[in-house]
Structure 1
Amino acid sequence: MTLPDGALLGALTIVFTLWLLASIPNQFRWEWWDNTARRDVLALLPRWTFFAPRPGRHDLHILIRDWSAGSPGQWRELERRPPAPWLRAFWNPDRFVRKTVTDTGNALIRAAARPEAGSSTSIQLHAAYLEILGWVVAAPPPVQDTSPGDARQFVLVRTQTARPGRRLDVAFISFEHPRL
């Protein structure tokens, strides 16, 4: 059964109108809307932060390297697979990954800057350190390597822009962790 052109246009208009109307309250932190937003398992409702009180001015990246026989390998970024640029305007689940990396990484950087974090044991037991370490250890070895290294290390790097040749600021360097 096919729909007449007018019915299809009407149905699409209703769907996109409802989507726009549901997106508006999602921009605010209203308690009554939070229950509805939690049911958005497909992440279809956007939350824009163009005019945040303190907008982000840098990006945080996780770089990892493997150690083999006591010598370090090359740094490489922990891989993420963002959708195609034309699709990101409509569907961008990677934004949750970027947000998690930013929040967890910043929590680790703040924890490492505290005076009581002087002990290597205390920072390695911090929840943010353990969460990032879990991602790092689970990452596959580089494609060109046939065998994983003996240990793995990560670094948190801040960047101002996404263009090549950008300035990288090292914010945190982890210890080497043996591979299991």
Structure 2
Amino acid sequence: MTLSPRRRRAIDLAVEAVLGAALVATALSQHPLRVFDRLRTLDRTGLVLPDWRLFAPVPVMHDLHLLHRPVGHAGASDWEVVSRISARTALQTVWFPERREQKAVLDLCRELAFHSAQGLPDLHETPSYRILRDWLRHLTCERQPDADGFQFMIMRTGGHDSEEPPTCTFLSPLEKRKAVGR
């Protein structure tokens, strides 16, 4: 079935109008004052009108660090920083799979620190706590095979503001090392 040039032109104009309206709605919904956020309520999936703002409405003011310490027969060792972000290399602009692990740990720490600040009673049953605990248990078993257990802490620092003292936002209880095979 062939379309007449007039009908073909009408279809082209309709497609261009729909795509143009979607482009304008996407651009307007990125406004930092959130005046046009009502447009996004038309798209419940977030696929047609995505939220691509480049800057957070509330910028991050602090850094979070995950620390842990193995505990053995002689007592607890010194705290060791686990979530150290290494300096970037030129290759990492193209290939950087380690960033996924760093991002996951940071997101878990943020969630756990948020829940801790809210005073949740069953904090040790949250998925973020259990994931961090199990990951650190594995890490401790690799690095300190003779450790009886471990403890971890989330510390908040001022980032580039060196005048703000570090504060502990979460401290885990002593976690026992599980026997192999359980």
Once residues 118 and 168 of structure 2 are traced to their aligned partners in structure 1, the CA distance between those partners, rounded to angstroms, is 17
Once residues 100 and 127 of structure 2 are traced to their aligned partners in structure 1, the CA distance between those partners, rounded to angstroms, is 19
Name the residue aligned to 1:108. 112
CA contact (8 A) 1:59 1:158 kept: yes
CA contact (8 A) 1:63 1:155 kept: yes
Name the residue aligned to 1:78. 82
SS at match of 2:67: strand
Name the residue aligned to 1:67. 71
Name the residue aligned to 1:158. 156
Report percent identity of matched pairs: 24
Once residues 164 and 85 of structure 1 are traced to their aligned partners in structure 2, the CA distance between those partners, rounded to angstroms, is 25
SS at match of 1:106: helix
Question: Which runs of no fewer than 5 residues in structure 2 stay unpaired?
Answer: 1-29, 31-44
CA contact (8 A) 1:59 1:159 kept: yes
CA contact (8 A) 1:68 1:150 kept: yes
Match of 1:93 among 70, 93, 97: 97
Cα offsets for 1:99-129 (capped at 9, x unmatched): 3223221221222233452xxxx22111111
Match of 1:169 among 167, 170, 176: 167
Once residues 94 and 165 of structure 2 are traced to their aligned partners in structure 1, the CA distance between those partners, rounded to angstroms, is 30
How high is the TM-score relative to the length of structure 1?
0.58
SS at match of 2:100: helix
Cα offsets for 1:25-52 (capped at 9, x unmatched): xxx8951599xxxxxxxxxxxxx97522
CA contact (8 A) 1:82 1:94 kept: no
CA contact (8 A) 2:149 2:174 kept: yes
Tell me, yes or no, if structure 1 residue 128 matches structure 2 residue 128. Answer: yes
Q: Which has the larger radius of gyration?
A: 2
CA contact (8 A) 2:154 2:171 kept: yes
Cα offsets for 1:152-177 (capped at 9, x unmatched): 00000122237999842211000111
Question: Which runs of no fewer than 5 residues in structure 1 stay unpaired?
Answer: 1-27, 35-47
Letter in 1 for 2:91: L
Cα offsets for 1:58-109 (capped at 9, x unmatched): 2211111011126111110126685743333333334433332232212212
How high is the TM-score relative to the length of structure 2?
0.58
Match of 1:31 among 47, 69, 82: 47
CA contact (8 A) 2:83 2:105 kept: no
Once residues 148 and 162 of structure 1 are traced to their aligned partners in structure 2, the CA distance between those partners, rounded to angstroms, is 37
SS at match of 1:148: coil
Instruction: Give me the CA root mean square deviation.
Output: 3.6
Letter in 2 for 1:168: P
